């Protein structure tokens, strides 16, 4: 069902504790408190969005990204284990793409572990395709990364406003 979540900019002070709980799914390669604060503290180039349930005001998932010129780099996405396969992840990515496009991004990129087949399926369904491979990119455990990418189209509407076509 769509619209069961509210996606908003993360308030690090309020939301980081719950984000770090969800981040545990990455095991040893999970980000720490400092990593989130250093790399995704508020700036014009960073995005850190959280999805919260309308009924239960807790973080169900988050997506962290960085805008570098015309590229939107998606650094992190995770959804609470019990809330997966309900559309939270898709809603987070699509919102991040839209907001990135509004800020001028034309292409989105992300790295995914070669063995993370579930995530490949997820990204493929959202229009991402393999662009390249980075040998031994990940540690804990060491593994190749696949670089996935997709374009983000911004269309000029008749009224002159930009709309994002995903």
Ligand X SMILES: CC(C)(COP(=O)(O)OP(=O)(O)OC[C@H]1O[C@@H](n2cnc3c(N)ncnc32)[C@H](O)[C@@H]1OP(=O)(O)O)[C@@H](O)C(=O)NCCC(=O)NCCS
86 binds ligand X (CB under 6 A): yes
Q: Please, which of residues 9-38 interact with ligand X by CB under 6 A?
A: 25
- From the list 54, 85, 129, 156, which residue makes contact with ligand X (rule: CB under 6 A)? 85
Kindly state the smallest distance separating residue 144's Cβ from ligand X, in Å: 13
48 binds ligand X (CB under 6 A): no
Q: 55 CB contacts (<8 Å, ≥6 apart)? A: 4
Alpha-carbon span 2 to 86, nearest angstrom:
9
> Cis bond leading into 79, ω under 30°?
no
Kindly state the smallest distance separating residue 158's Cβ from ligand X, in Å: 32
Binding region for ligand X (CB under 6 A) out of 10-18, 81-89, 100-108, 134-142: 81-89
- From the list 39, 46, 90, 114, which residue makes contact with ligand X (rule: CB under 6 A)? 90
Binding region for ligand X (CB under 6 A) out of 41-49, 115-123, 134-142, 151-159: 115-123
Question: Nearer Cβ to ligand X, position 12 or 94?
Answer: 94
| H/E stretch holding 120 | helix 117-125
* Beta strands across the sheet bearing 5-9: 5-9, 46-53, 59-68, 71-79, 107-113, 143-151, 129-138
- Kindly state the DSSP code that residue 31 receives in the 8-state scheme: P
Q: Which residue has the tokens 């988050």?
A: 62
121 binds ligand X (CB under 6 A): yes
Kindly state the smallest distance separating residue 24's Cβ from ligand X, in Å: 10
118 binds ligand X (CB under 6 A): yes
In 3D space, the residue among 155, 19, 138, 159 whose CA is nearest the CA of residue 77 turns out to be 19
Tokens of 139: 């540690």
Residues that bind ligand X (CB under 6 A): 25, 77-79, 84-90, 112, 116, 118-119, 121-122, 125
């Amino acid at each position: 069902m769509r619209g069961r979540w509210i996606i908003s900019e993360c308030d690090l002070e309020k939301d980081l504790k719950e984000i770090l709980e969800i981040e545990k799914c990455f095991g040893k390669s999970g980000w720490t408190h400092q990593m989130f604060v250093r790399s995704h503290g508020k700036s014009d180039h960073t995005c850190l969005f959280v999805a919260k349930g309308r009924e239960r005001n807790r973080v169900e998932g988050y997506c962290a990204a960085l805008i570098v010129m015309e590229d939107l780099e998606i650094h992190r996405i995770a959804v609470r284990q019990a809330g997966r396969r309900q559309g939270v992840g898709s809603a987070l990515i699509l919102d991040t793409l839209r907001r990135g496009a509004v800020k001028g991004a034309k292409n989105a990129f992300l790295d995914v572990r070669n063995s993370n087949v579930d995530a490949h399926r997820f990204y493929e369904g959202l229009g991402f395709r393999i662009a390249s491979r980075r040998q031994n990119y990940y540690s804990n455990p060491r593994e190749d990364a696949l670089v996935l990418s997709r374009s983000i189209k911004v269309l000029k509407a008749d009224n002159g406003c930009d709309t994002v076509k995903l």
